[in-house]
Every structure is written in C-alpha cells, then in structure tokens.
Amino acid sequence: MTRKRVAVLISGRGSNMAALIEAAKAEDYPAEIALVLSNRPDAGGLAHARAANIVTAVVEHKGHGKNREAFERTLAAVIDEHRIDLVCLAGFMRILTPWFVTRWEGRLINIHPALLPAFKGLDTHQRALAAASKTHGATVHFVVPEMDSGPIIVQGSVPVHDGDTAETLAARVLTVEHRIYPIALRLVAEGRARLVDGRCLIDGAPSTHGILIASEI
C-alpha cells in the first residue's frame, strides 16, 4: 500500500490535526501526515505536531497584506515541496480563493462544526442553540470555491441537550469531529470517496449527505 502524503492546515489548537495524526499511526491507515502547515506561528497545534515528529511549516498571511493569492502561492509552493497528495483543512481560518481550491479540486477536504447545509460560517453552536435544533454535529466535505458548500463525505450528529451552552455543545461536537475526520480521510485516501462532476461518489454511487455517523451521547 502506498500511503497518501497529507498536509494538514491549521490556525489554532489543532485537535482535529491530532486526531488525524493518531489515526495515521495505524499500520493499515492509507495516509500519512507528511506536513502540518499553519498561517499563525503561535498556533498551539504546531507544538503537538513537532512532538509527534511531524514536519511543520508556517506561512504567515500577514506579510502578504490584502493579496490573498500571493499568500496562497507561497502556501502552494510549500505544499508542492513536500510532494503532498491530499490537503486537510482543520481549523484553518483563511478563506481560500478559487485559484487554490481549483488547483486542489478533489484532493482538498475540510471539517465544519455543523450538519451542513445548516449553519455555514461562524458561531455554529450558538446558532444551533438559537434555532432550537434538537440535533447538531459536524461535516467533512470536499472544498469547492463557495464556502462550506462542497459535497459531503461524512457527517457526525450529536443530540442537543436541555441546558446546553455553546461551550458544552461545542465539546460534544468536537468528540464527533475527532471520529469522523479520520474516517473521511481514509475514504478519500483509498479513492472510495471521490469528487466527480460536483458530486461526492462513495464506492461509485452518488451520495447527497455522505455517510452519517450518529452518536447518542
């Protein structure tokens, strides 16, 4: 088995990155985390990655002013240098331009803390509570130019409890994020989940909502 070389892009604490690193320790996992890249030098996840002996790099968006594409060209050069096959966004807080997204089409995935298409964008937990949602969760999807709109690979749902705050709900969703991201990366790395004509095919069959993993806790 040739393992796919994966870059994980982070901006913060990197708990999803850590879940991917952990999953990739298994001998039969079809991907290896070959690079952790952050746009912030102070991202907490960088120390974790270094401690796990993973190559890290920082490409600061700051120095590039308002020129998103110049930032992304530097990012792309670093990714290319490490012969990366797949890119995982894991709390990477930069909106990517169509140039970058198109370049990585079908090989770029993201995790979003909501059951898409509900609650695109920020503050998803607060918004789920305000909407009195009974179920909430997270989604791993292929990235397309429109934000949080790409074809879904895997979703994980959790119940919303009475008395939940955005924090307690976020913590419950995070546990399911850590379960579904490694599953989704496995499917993509094995070629079982593919982006074809704007749809996600799983084992060759079109899948509108991806695979759903429901957690009762």
Helix (H) or strand (E) segment spanning residue 107: none
In sequence order, what are the residues at sequence separation of 6 or more whose Cβ sits closer than 8 angstroms to the Cβ of residue 73?
none
Does the protein bind ligand GRF through residue 90 (CB under 6 A)? yes
Query: Is the backbone of residue 65 left (phi > 0), alpha (psi -120 to 50) or beta?
Result: left
Q: At what angle do helices 15-23 and 166-189 cross, to 10 degrees?
A: 40
Measured from each CB, the residue nearest to ligand GRF is 91
**Binding-site member from 3, 5, 12, 190 for ligand GRF (CB under 6 A):** 12
Does the protein bind ligand GRF through residue 16 (CB under 6 A)? yes
Segment interacting with ligand GRF (CB under 6 A) among 11-19, 57-65, 71-79, 158-166: 11-19
Query: Is the backbone of residue 188 left (phi > 0), alpha (psi -120 to 50) or beta?
Result: alpha
Closest CA to 78 of 58, 63, 102, 106: 58
Tokens 């949602």 belong to residue: 133
Does the protein bind ligand GRF through residue 91 (CB under 6 A)? yes
Nearest distance, CB of residue 205 and ligand GRF, angstroms:
26
For residues 37 and 77, which CB has a smaller minimum distance to ligand GRF in the complex? 37
Does the protein bind ligand GRF through residue 14 (CB under 6 A)? yes
**Binding-site member from 13, 73, 103, 192 for ligand GRF (CB under 6 A):** 13
Residues designated catalytic: 112
Binding site for ligand GRF (CB under 6 A): 10, 12-17, 90-91, 111-113, 138, 177
